Copies of this chain bind each other. A is one copy, B any other.
Amino acid sequence: MSEDTKSTKDRILDAALSIFSNKGYYDTRLDEIADESQSSKGSIYFHFPNKERLFISLVDQFADVIERNVTEAIEEHPAGMQRVQVAIEAVLDTFGKYRRPAKILLVQAVGLGNVFEKKRMEVTDRFAGLIQTYLQEAIETGDIAQVDTEVVAHAWMGAIYNVVIQWVHTGEPEPERIMDALVPLLLKSVDYEMASVQADEASA
């Protein structure tokens, strides 16, 4: 499916992704999206009710991708710390593969005022909730000692986000280096010495 056989809606989404991720929400003009998508303003407003929703649909779309990748990666592993590790790796892997959506979610969707802030909280809570659940499981299976799972979850998310943001901005450190340094760091922070999980994704 090349660029010109795609549906107009998809072309609009692609263009929006590209421009929003570069310029941020407020510096992006709908006319520019119309241009870049080889369509028109009317088209945009046919497919989306307004600028806000167009942007938010990009956020949602990517949040879904991440969540799907995590739950898929997890299901073939037993409950406990191994799941936590696999989940982190799946998130990092997804960010690594989709740099522009990552920038939208982690950078451009922040600080846009309260409407967007609410949406961001929603996504954030969704992920933090996931991490908390898996951590709780790991505590119950005895893999790690009792910890404040709420703080740990948010701290981990922040750590992951920030390292990825740095990469999104500068191209450094590369995903591989992030994976090598960050995963052990996070696991150690709850006193878990990791045993390397066989490289599933890497061979795919």
B residues within 8 A CB of A189? Answer: 185-186, 188-189
B residues within 8 A CB of A112? Answer: 24, 26, 111
Q: How far, in Å, is A117 (CB) from chain B's closest CB?
A: 8
* Chain A interface helix/strand/loop/mixed: helix
B residues within 8 A CB of A173? Answer: 148, 150-151
Inter-chain CA distance A83–B182, complex, in Å, is 22
**Residues of A bordering B, CB below 8 Å:** 23-27, 107-114, 117, 121, 147-148, 150-152, 154-163, 165-166, 169, 173, 177-178, 180-182, 185-186, 188-191
Choose among A27, A109, A155 the residue with the greatest number of B CB atoms under 10 Å from its CB.
Answer: A155
Q: How far, in Å, is A35 (CB) from chain B's closest CB?
A: 19
Inter-chain CA distance A9–B148, complex, in Å, is 43
